[in-house]
Amino acid sequence: MKLAGRISQVKPSLTLAIAAKAKAMKADGIDVCSFSAGEPDFDTPAHIKAAAAKALDEGKTKYGPAAGEPKLREAIAHKLKSNNGLDYQAENVIVTNGGKHSLFNLMLALIEPGDEVIIPAPYWLSYPEMVTLAGGKAVIVPTDASTGYKITPERLRQVITPKTKLFILNSPSNPTGMVYSPEAIKAIAQVIVDADILVVSDEIYEKILYDGATHVSIGSLGSEIFQRTIISNGFAKAYSMTGWRVGYLAGPADLIKATISIQSHSTSNVCTFAQYGAIAALESSQDCVEEMRQAFAKRRQVMLARLNAISGLSCAKPDGAFYMFPDISQTGLKSMDFCNALLEEHQVAVIPGIAFAADNNIRLSYATDMATIEKGLDRLEKFVQSRL
């Protein structure tokens, strides 16, 4: 069958391939330690599930507005104002099928053939694929440990061209766990305003921060940057609601209107009763978010200490999300070979950095229990020693 040309430019997800292999080994009864998860390992908090169950009982089972339940759009606008200092109304918000879908809607509404979108690497692997599917050009800007895997304002200024439409900012970052400082965010905002381009801030990990790191939403730094900012966020990571598929995009009303129009012809509204769970997530106590964060914080300390005690690996300290991104270059292995050998010889699943355009690194998720972390790190240490 002759498929559409756009398909030949999209790569299948490497993350999913390794995770699937690990799962198949587990199903065969093999004792696999998996650090491949891109999602919290906790159940969704009970009060959120109860709110969705109540909505289901009450018959909230019909089509709703494509843009989302009015009450949820309002709750999100309120959250963005009170938590992030962003002055949005409900009309500035669309509820989407997850943060991934919000970014996809954005690319379809904004990007035309010839438009350039600047993406610092290591990046979340869906960004460039979404830009390509929308017909745009992903401009990948490599970064390394010397700048904490972050793009500097100077570098951003250098790579902007007359064709640049959008910059993608992801802090805290998947896969590196790095967090841009408030000063860095301010300097990046200035570059964006000066060049008169747009920025989308993917803030899905904003609540998962450690050691006093703070999250500054770039659009909160003044009216000039606010007008050029689009926010992508969702419930998946902060509330352990990955399977619920509820996210949102917020930005200038005309842009949001365009994404509503796209959504009305593609997915229509997000699952109606799931949206009632999301309302409860925002309107109830935020203690559940902090409890999960504290559990991540403990695991982070253990994993970071263990990783840096392995000679042959070095790992920068991540201030957010639930990932470690150690450098494996001393082993002489490329990331895919490293991951395949580690899984086959020691039954440990990690994600190769090549998936995020960083072939000298691997990604370990610590969204797993402490016993797995201890056992898996023992095995990883043996593997690295065997390769030095």
Give me the residues that bind ligand PLP (CB under 6 A), please: 38, 98-100, 124, 170, 174, 202, 204, 234, 236-237, 242, 247
Least CB distance to ligand PLP at residue 242 (A): 5
By C-alpha distance, which of 291, 296, 279, 301 is closest to 377?
301
Helical packing angle, 287-308 and 370-387, nearest 10°? 20
**Nearer to ligand PLP (CB atom), residue 67 or residue 200:** 200
CB-wise, 40 or 153, nearer to ligand PLP? 40
CB of 309 to ligand PLP, least distance (A): 28
The answer to whether 52 touches 380, Cβ cutoff 8 Å, is no
Choose between 89 and 242: whose C-beta lies nearer to ligand PLP.
Answer: 242
What are 327's two structure tokens?
Answer: 């450098």
Q: Which residue, 44 or 347, has its beta carbon nearer to ligand PLP?
A: 44
CA torsion, points 88, 243, 245, 54, in degrees to nearest 10?
-80
State the nearest-atom distance from the C-beta of 243 to ligand PLP, in Å. Answer: 8
Q: 102 or 331, CB closer to ligand PLP?
A: 102
Helix axes 272-283, 46-57, angle to 10 degrees: 140
* Residue nearest to ligand PLP as judged by C-beta position: 98
The smaller minimum CB distance to ligand PLP, of residues 170 and 220, is found at 170
Distance in Å, CB of 203 to ligand PLP, minimum: 9
Whether the CB-CB separation of 316 and 176 falls below 8 Å is answered with yes
- The amino acid at residue 130 is M
Instruction: Report DSSP state, residue 278.
Output: H
Task: Give the nearest distance from C-beta 122 to ligand PLP in angstroms.
Answer: 11
Q: Buried b / exposed e across 9-22, counting CB within 10 Å, b at 16+?
A: eeeeebbebbbebb
User: Nearest distance from residue 352's CB to ligand PLP, in Å?
Assistant: 17
